[in-house]
Every structure is written in C-alpha cells, then in structure tokens.
Amino acid sequence: MDYTKYIFPIYSTSESPLCPGKRFASSFEGNGFFVGNYFVTAGHVINQCNEPCILYDGKEVLLNRQTKLLHKDMPYDEKGRPIGHDNPENADIAIYSMNDVIINSPLFFSETFPQLGETLDNIYYNYTQAEIENYAKNHEIKDKSLCIWECKGMVHEDPNDHCGDFFEATMSPSHPYGGGSSGSPIFMGSKVYGVLHAGGSVNHPEICVFFSAARILHLLNRLLAKY
C-alpha cells in the first residue's frame, strides 16, 4: 500500500499582499499524517508554526483552534532541550479533526509499545539531499522543493534506552541534518507505533525518539469520552 498519500508536510502561513485575509503556505516546518480523518503531528511542530496549514487538493487547509482536538508539548530546559520524558503527564502531540478533508486513511494507532528490536517504517517529507548538504555548509535553503524520504527504524533492544512513553530507534538512513522530519509516523503495515519527537543530533544522527502511539490513543480516548 502507498502510505505516502496519508503523510503531509506542514507549513507556516503568511498573509497574501494581494488578497488581504487570505493566507498561503510559506515555510516548511515539519510533518503530519492522517489516522482515519484525524490529522496527527508533534506538538512542538505546531508551536514553531505561524498559523500552520497543509496543502490538500492544491488548497491551504488551516490547522486552527476550530479543528484542534488535542495539543500537548514538553517542558524545556534553559538550552531549549525537551525534558521530563519520564512524567506520564508530558506529551508531544497535536491532533486535529479534519471534517473538510475526507481522506479515510487506513493508518491506526497501536494499543501497545513496539517490540524491542523490531524494525519499523518511517516516511516523511524534507528538502532534497543536495539542499540539505547545502544547508549544512551554508546554513541557508535555496531550493525549497520537498521530496519523500523513506527509512527503517530499529527499536532499541535495551529497555534503558526508552523513557516513559518515549522510545528510541536507530534509523537507516539517518535523518537529515537540520530537522524537518518531526511529526512523521513510525509504523508497520497500517499500524502506527509512534510520532517522531526528536533526533538526528550532530553526535548521533542515526538515533530518533518517538512518542508512543499507545499513549496517544489513551489521551485521545480520554478526551473523546468527555463529549
């Protein structure tokens, strides 16, 4: 099955100078994906956006307060690094109810943590390899076109590498320098095991951290039970 059609880049938007009140996708910020007709991404991706949107059928679809169901982000230390992964109240997730986008994605959240040592799939949008290499050298993006990246992630076998509702995986190939893949799913078949939270550091570019889909499912069910 082609899962790429259920994964979308997320953009910040800017107001059109020619059409006041109209916003258009301006800068790439991260990734998200559909589970059924829910749109899912990492909470920190939304935090770094200016009025985020996705492009669907060539049109901007805003991710706004009217469609937002759930949004949680991590606390951060003085250097801007996420902390508190062992606290079950902390999460890195945003979920939107997209009534205007009927996509009927077959992806669904796993009710369990992935098995240690299991190899999963990860797909996301990012800049081209040439542009990422240019960014690493010159710290600027010239070509803003995006392409699909596909990789495998092996869940670490050492339980000490995992913390609370977050788990680590070694990615092959490594995620690109400079970020952009946050919010993408790690999955097997149609079963999603996590959402990309962090990783691709200078010292360990091959290691990524994911927020557990089982915990997301718990948070979502708890929220929907209130309605």
Which CATH number do you get for residue 44?
2.40.10
Same domain? 53 vs 130: no
Residue 21 has pLDDT above 90, yes or no: no
The average pLDDT across 29-56 equals 95
- 72 vs 23: which has the higher pLDDT: 72
The average pLDDT across 206-215 equals 96
The average pLDDT across 100-111 equals 91
CA geometry: angle at 90 spanning 92 and 111, to 5°? Answer: 70
Q: What is the pLDDT, as a whole number, of residue 20? A: 66
Residue 137 has pLDDT above 80, yes or no: no
Q: Average pLDDT, whole number, for the chain?
A: 90
Determine contact, residues 223/70, Cβ cutoff 8 Å. yes
Look up the pTM and report it.
0.92
User: Which domain-ending residue is among 89, 106, 123?
Assistant: 106
pLDDT-derived band of residue 227, with 50, 70 and 90 as boundaries?
A: low
Tell me, yes or no, whether 225 lies in a domain. no
Q: Which structural domain range is residue 88 located in?
A: 3-106
Q: What is the pLDDT, as a whole number, of residue 32? A: 98
Q: What is the pLDDT, as a whole number, of residue 11? A: 95
Token pair in block for residue 123: 């797909």
Q: Quote the CA–CA distance of 179 and 225 in Å, as a whole number.
A: 35
Phi, psi of 76 (to 5 degrees): -130, 150
Q: To which H or E segment does residue 59 belong?
A: strand 59-62
- 166 vs 127: which has the higher pLDDT: 166
Whether the CA torsion 195, 197, 142, 174 is positive or negative: it is negative
Q: Is 57 helix (H, G, I), strand (E, B) or coil?
A: coil
Q: Quote the CA–CA distance of 87 and 222 in Å, as a whole number.
A: 18
Determine contact, residues 96/66, Cβ cutoff 8 Å. no
